[in-house]
Structure 1
Amino acid sequence: MNWLSSSRTLLAVIAAAGVGLCTGCGSNSEAQPQIPLAAFNEVLNLTDQQNSNLRFDNGAVYHTGGVRGLIVVRQNASTYLAFERTCTYNSADTCARVKFVQFAQIFDPCCKSQFNFQGQVQGGPANLPLRRYSTSLSGNILTITN
């Protein structure tokens, strides 16, 4: 047997094993599509008027980046969190895009899932937290990366 046919045989075995391993996947719960990864590096100047909500604890703003945009939340003067706006429940659905209610929660008006300002599920059908991105604060400049 040459190396090409050996490689094909090995790939067929791996594929069959993968199918066998996933036969029971999602048998008790609905399978959730994965949110695609998006590479980005966004910079927010916290002194800009468009970011004025980030001058208060639990203030939030929308920003570009990620798959369907970002929600940036101020926890306190030195801690900011950035979340993907794609809801973790039925993320492939075109309306699966979370919004924020100022000083209250983040929610998906499509599936009615609710998340707190730490990205954790508070209600609705979602069972996974919002995707969180890395943040770094230097003076008045907040950098968000994936």
Structure 2
Amino acid sequence: MALAVASLPLLASCAGNSEAQPQIPLTAFNEVLYLTDQQNSALRFDNGAVYHAGGVRGLIVVRQNASTYLAFERTCTYNSADTCARVKISPFVQLFDPCCKSQFNFQGQVQGGPANIALRRYQTSLSGNVLTITN
């Protein structure tokens, strides 16, 4: 009986560690993206996505509709300390990390793979053809 009680904290700590994932560091930034630039032409259409500077390992910006844009951290939420944990835009209309095989939709939600936390989302503000992304 004492053995079962003594091992209970050990089991609880192991269970807690299985859910623990390295945290993505916070970084302050203020990025401006001009929607009229040719490099951002994918953002002229709903569900278009582009890479942009900012964040920890870069940003992915997705157009939801003409007035709504989302910006996500490219660092994958699963094993984020791994140097290859970098989310990419898939030609098959999703975001994915080729390292751990996690998949995310264009709202940043987990769709498959080992990740169980959505992509970090940053604040966006649209003024005319200028999109500002901040943290």
TM bin, normalised by shorter chain, reads: 0.7 to 0.9
Secondary structure at 1:53 match in 2: helix
Q: 1:77 corresponds to which letter in structure 2? A: A
CA-CA distance at 1:25 after TM superposition? 4.5
Q: 1:125 corresponds to which letter in structure 2? A: P
The answer as to 2:44 corresponding to 1:39 is: no
On the 8 A contact 1:59/1:103 being kept in 2, the answer is no
Q: Which runs of 5+ in 2 are unaligned?
A: 1-8
On the 8 A contact 1:58/1:102 being kept in 2, the answer is no
CA-CA distance at 1:31 after TM superposition? 2.1
Q: Report the number of matched residues.
A: 125
Distance 2:134 2:48 in 1: 20
Match of 1:101 among 83, 90, 104: 90
CA-CA distance at 1:74 after TM superposition? 0.2
**Could you say which residue in structure 2 is the equivalent of 1:115?**
104
Q: How big is the alpha-carbon RMSD for the aligned residues of Structure 1 and Structure 2?
A: 1.7
- Output the TM-score relative to the length of structure 1: 0.81
The answer as to 2:49 corresponding to 1:60 is: yes
- The percent of aligned pairs where both chains have the same amino acid is 84
Alignment of 1:1-146 (within 5 A): 24-25=12-13, 27=15, 29-102=18-91, 104-146=93-135
Instruction: Return 93-102 or 129-138, whichever deviates more.
Output: 93-102
Q: 2:107 corresponds to which letter in structure 1? A: Q
Secondary structure at 1:38 match in 2: coil
- Output the TM-score relative to the length of structure 2: 0.88
Distance 1:84 1:26 in 2: 29
CA-CA distance at 1:26 after TM superposition? 5.1
Secondary structure at 2:33 match in 1: strand
On the 8 A contact 1:60/1:102 being kept in 2, the answer is no
CA-CA distance at 1:102 after TM superposition? 3.9
On the 8 A contact 1:41/1:144 being kept in 2, the answer is yes
Secondary structure at 2:122 match in 1: strand
Structure with greater Cα Rg: 1
